[in-house]
Structure 1
Amino acid sequence: MSTTAELLVVALRADAGGRLTAAREQALAAIAHGVGGFVLFGGDQDAVRAFTKEVQQRSRTPLLIGADLERGAGQQFTGAAGLPPLAALAWLGDAEALRRASRLTAREARTMGVNWDLAPVVDLELADDAAVVGTRSLGADPAVVGRMAAEWITACQAEGVLACAKHFPGLGRAPLDADGQAPVVRADRDAMHATDLVPFRAAIDAGVASMMTAHAAYPALDPSGMPAMFSRELLQWLLRQQMRYDNLVVAHLPTAVRGTPGGDEGEAAVRALAAGCDVLLAPNDVPAVIAALERALAERRLDPERTRQSVRRRLKWAQWAAPPNDWRRPTASDAAWGAQLCDRVVHLVRGAPPALPQVVEVLYVDCGAEASAYDGFVDTLRTAGHEVRPVDEPSPADAGAPLVVALFPGDDAEHGDADAQADVASRVAAVCASASQAGRLPIVALFAHPSLASAVPDEVPLLCAWTGDVAMQRAAARWLAARRG
């Protein structure tokens, strides 16, 4: 069994029912190869708890078990608390709420056996013509983002769960459309040091356990033009030597593959480890990647001592993480606080919203999701005593009857795609015009970053709920129901 296998962290996905049955078989096969961990996507809370207990018991080495929990443990796991995105917490400006959100996330994760939260994002919102980091970002001010990121990291790791600052050295300036190639950040060296790198320095000072690399290239920092995950200049000279970071450096292997000639997964893994990465997330073909790493060691393309350092780093942090236990287990009051936090960040961007009648028509402007994706919004309105009628177009009604337009713009529009944003704006304008012709008063509930308010006509009342997560759908519905006529 190869020790290089310990540097691989396999991605596992639950089925639509929240079960991990198929993932379990995949996990046991990966454990037989000696992998160092798993990243989980989805699953019922109880199923995740049983799964993590079994795989830890079966593995010969302590495992890192991670998940993207930028918006609370409910972002991935049913039964756990969903929380507002980082941008909403930054907008709120409440440091104690930020810390408590981080603690709640970590506590729920730990009780499920998830010991690694792949958060926070510390990329800055810097350029109008760049891919929008959107609701994942803590903002544009480097000092403020650094301070908030440090608060998040400290609170998370105080609960025995690793945090992960991403994406080094910063994606806030990365252009959206790179034609399948690694995007290139053109900022000069001084600008990068004065802005983009500031939150990463704060994360290092806070003792962050792991740092994820960006997939972009930074010619001002590395003239070779290598993407960050393949850049020795960025990872070994800048990050390790100048910034004195000595914890885990993580690369997302599928992204690395896109930046590798021929799309060879094994070659991408070798290049990332040779550049200075320690752990590779989401390998597709585990045996093939292990074989490629072993060949690279035998051919001295990988330095044996540096590889051993990576193995030791991964083991150190897997041993450091708190085991699953009921110590400081989240309570019902914690869950209620999480819902209240979601309520606090829902806000009216403009206009005066009409009072809702007992019968509410809801029209969705979305990116083609299944109808069940909106159950949180509809069910909460119904629980509040409203009869909800989803409609495809405004129907004539008594003059002034309100129409709720639920706007879910989709990832392309949220990430700065100009064509997608124009399409959303066109669709919303058509819906609002049709509502006016039918004698209806529209109010738009925006389930995205408030920067997309420009997609909604100025005269239309606009409510911002930040994301389309179930927790934020429920919060938006509670906000509207509180204004019942």
Structure 2
Amino acid sequence: MMPRARLVCPALRWRRGSFKSERTKIEQALPAGVGGFIVFGGTRAAVAALTSALRDTAGRPLLLGSDFERGPGQQVRGLTELPPPAALGYLNDLDATYACGQITGTEARAVGLTWVFAPVCDLDVEPRNPIVQTRAFGADPSLVGSHAAAWIKGCQEHGVMACAKHYPGHGRTTTDSHEGLPVVTGSAAELQAEAAPFAAAVQAGVASVMPAHVAYPGWDPSGSAATFSKPILDYLLTTFAFDGLVVTDAFIMAGATAAAPEAVAAVAAVNAGCDMLLYPTDWAGVVRELEHVDPDRAEHALARYGAAVDPGAWPRGRATLDEAELAEHQRFADGLSDRAVHLVRGERPQLGKTLSVTIVDDDVGGPYTIPPRDVFAKTLAAQGVRFPRNRTPDTRHLILVYAEPRSWKGRADLGPVSLAKLERLVPGASLVILFAHPRLVSQIPGDVPVLCAWHGQSLMQRAAARWVATRV
């Protein structure tokens, strides 16, 4: 076992209905001494079994985390989905955002996860940004900071580490760090002002911060991404007085390896001030290369990891989660999503009991699976709405537009195929439902009413269906 392996956090993915494909990785990584894992996918029972087995096999504490920006149901089937941060910012109800953090922390612990890679503290200030959009609470630094702080407190009060990302801000990028190294212009003073939500997160006691694979040459003239920038990370540690864990964004992203091969870049990240290396492609190669990290910096990073994983620092026992509590969480999420759905154009139309639905899906074509798109229609059908094969004179036509931030797209707006379909379909429509950022309403032709439902997740499809049901 290599002690510096504690600084590495590989990924475990649910594939073809199980985590079995990750068995070899687990069997090699735990004896090597890795500090934890990031988990993608799975069912409630499977994730609980996995985390328990990992800790039993390791015989030591581990940091086990997941991406829960939209609640635990974003990754774990059977747990609660929550509205995207942009919807929470729109509602601007800090008590509700705090409750979202509470639900996330409670349910994460119930399946053995102790680290959540959320909240996003970026500002939604660039309409061309291909990857932030509805993942951010909004554009105003004060609002974003307030909601991030509320979410962090709710999550961490239930024994789960939160992570403020992507320091000092990914909001002004026009390219995606999954695909390359974005460069954000602006002076150091301007960039530091826009990092205010991260200061609020630190003041709220956030346990970890994730720097961006983004370069800010006005702040660090070397052109290094924040992940590898000592001046930018020093500002976090000194000016903001952050004393928690600094964890990189995923090393599988092109922005991480734009300047050097993965293992060499990993050493540079730790030397610059990062403490943990998330989701490397070759975790074993990264572990071997960490022998070249500056000894003092390695010691400091290991101390920060030790403080984070210390069972005495956080309540590490599995929280209980019974079916009644889960149902209560779902009712809360449904109520919140109902409040977030709203018209962004036109007047509320009168719809009948006979509807037709056409889907314009801007998310099809990439390497990732998309959520089910039939939840909306099924929810309405359960309430007596008919969807005949052939339209009758009283049939009202609805168009559902799905357009989420997806790393493969490289754009923030609707693509040409989606636009062409809308030009053809909109003239006969009574309502367009936008499962996307509300600013995309500018791309919907004509003057048809447009309902904003924020995201294509099942939670928001059900909310949109309930909104429609009140007009049939």
1:210 equivalent in alignment to 2:201:
no
Q: Secondary structure of 1:254's partner?
A: coil
Measure the CA separation in 1 of the matches of 2:371 and 2:244: 42
Displacement of 1:340: 1.5
Could you tell which deviates more after superposition, 258-267 or 42-51?
258-267
Measure the CA separation in 2 of the matches of 1:61 and 1:36: 10
Measure the CA separation in 1 of the matches of 2:267 and 2:294: 11
Query: 1:74 maps to which residue?
Result: 73
Displacement of 1:175: 2.2
Quick one: which amino acid aligns to residue 397 of structure 1? T
Displacement of 1:255: 5.1
Could you tell which deviates more after superposition, 323-332 or 136-145?
323-332
Displacement of 1:31: 1.0
Displacement of 1:346: 1.2
How do 1:439-458 residues align onto structure 2 when only pairs under 5 Å count? 441-458=429-446
Contact 1:176 1:415 in 2 (8 A): no
How do 1:4-23 residues align onto structure 2 when only pairs under 5 Å count? 4-17=4-17, 19-23=18-22
How do 1:307-386 residues align onto structure 2 when only pairs under 5 Å count? 307-319=298-310, 320-327=313-320, 330-367=325-362, 368=364, 373-386=372-385
Displacement of 1:36: 0.7
Query: 1:161 maps to which residue?
Result: 160
Quick one: which amino acid aligns to residue 363 of structure 1? T
Contact 1:422 1:455 in 2 (8 A): no
Measure the CA separation in 2 of the matches of 1:177 and 1:165: 18
Query: 2:242 maps to which residue?
Result: 245
Contact 2:178 2:407 in 1 (8 A): no
Contact 2:119 2:165 in 1 (8 A): yes
Query: 1:46 maps to which residue?
Result: 45
Quick one: which amino acid aligns to residue 361 of structure 2? D
Measure the CA separation in 1 of the matches of 2:287 and 2:337: 43
Could you tell which deviates more after superposition, 56-65 or 373-382?
373-382
Query: 2:465 maps to which residue?
Result: 477
Unaligned stretches of 5+ residues in structure 1:
297-301, 436-440
Deviations 1:297-343 (A, max 9, x none): xxxxx221221221121121122333243457634222211221112
1:270 equivalent in alignment to 2:267:
yes
**TM-score, normalised by the number of residues in structure 2:** 0.91
**TM-score, normalised by the number of residues in structure 1:** 0.89
Contact 2:40 2:75 in 1 (8 A): yes
Q: 1:137 to 1:418 in 2, by over 3 A?
A: closer
Query: 1:254 maps to which residue?
Result: 251
Measure the CA separation in 2 of the matches of 1:140 and 1:105: 24
Measure the CA separation in 2 of the matches of 1:360 and 1:345: 23
Q: Secondary structure of 2:439's partner?
A: helix
Select 1:303's aligned residue among 263, 269, 294: 294
Measure the CA separation in 1 of the matches of 2:391 and 2:354: 14
Displacement of 1:177: 6.7
Contact 2:83 2:460 in 1 (8 A): yes
Query: 2:420 maps to which residue?
Result: 426
Contact 1:414 1:448 in 2 (8 A): no
Displacement of 1:22: 2.2
Quick one: which amino acid aligns to residue 45 of structure 2? D
Displacement of 1:127: 3.2
Could you tell which deviates more after superposition, 423-432 or 309-318?
423-432
1:465 equivalent in alignment to 2:460:
no
Measure the CA separation in 2 of the matches of 1:371 and 1:57: 34
Q: 1:315 to 1:402 in 2, by over 3 A?
A: same
Q: 1:81 to 1:412 in 2, by over 3 A?
A: closer
Quick one: which amino acid aligns to residue 398 of structure 2? V
Could you tell which deviates more after superposition, 175-184 or 334-343?
175-184
Quick one: which amino acid aligns to residue 340 of structure 2? V
Q: 1:179 to 1:86 in 2, by over 3 A?
A: closer
Measure the CA separation in 1 of the matches of 2:256 and 2:451: 40
Contact 2:170 2:214 in 1 (8 A): yes
Displacement of 1:421: 4.4
Measure the CA separation in 2 of the matches of 1:467 and 1:90: 14
Displacement of 1:60: 3.8
Figure out how many residues of one structure are paired with residues of the other and give that number.
464
Measure the CA separation in 2 of the matches of 1:337 and 1:412: 27
Measure the CA separation in 2 of the matches of 1:333 and 1:397: 41
Displacement of 1:461: 1.3
Contact 2:256 2:262 in 1 (8 A): no
Deviations 1:217-236 (A, max 9, x none): 1112111111111111111x
Quick one: which amino acid aligns to residue 462 of structure 1? V
Unaligned stretches of 5+ residues in structure 2:
none
Measure the CA separation in 1 of the matches of 2:319 and 2:412: 48
Could you tell which deviates more after superposition, 443-452 or 323-332?
323-332
Q: Secondary structure of 1:100's partner?
A: helix
Measure the CA separation in 2 of the matches of 1:16 and 1:382: 30
Query: 2:220 maps to which residue?
Result: 222
Contact 2:65 2:117 in 1 (8 A): yes
Contact 1:406 1:446 in 2 (8 A): yes
Q: 1:269 to 1:383 in 2, by over 3 A?
A: same
Query: 1:36 maps to which residue?
Result: 35
Deviations 1:161-208 (A, max 9, x none): 0000000111111222789541111111221222x1111111111111
Displacement of 1:386: 2.4
1:411 equivalent in alignment to 2:405:
yes
Contact 1:253 1:269 in 2 (8 A): no
Could you tell which deviates more after superposition, 411-420 or 108-117?
411-420
Q: Secondary structure of 2:374's partner?
A: helix
Q: 1:387 to 1:341 in 2, by over 3 A?
A: same
Quick one: which amino acid aligns to residue 227 of structure 1? A
Contact 2:2 2:33 in 1 (8 A): yes
Q: 1:419 to 1:371 in 2, by over 3 A?
A: closer
Give identity over the alignment, percent. 39
Query: 1:299 maps to which residue?
Result: none
Displacement of 1:351: 2.2
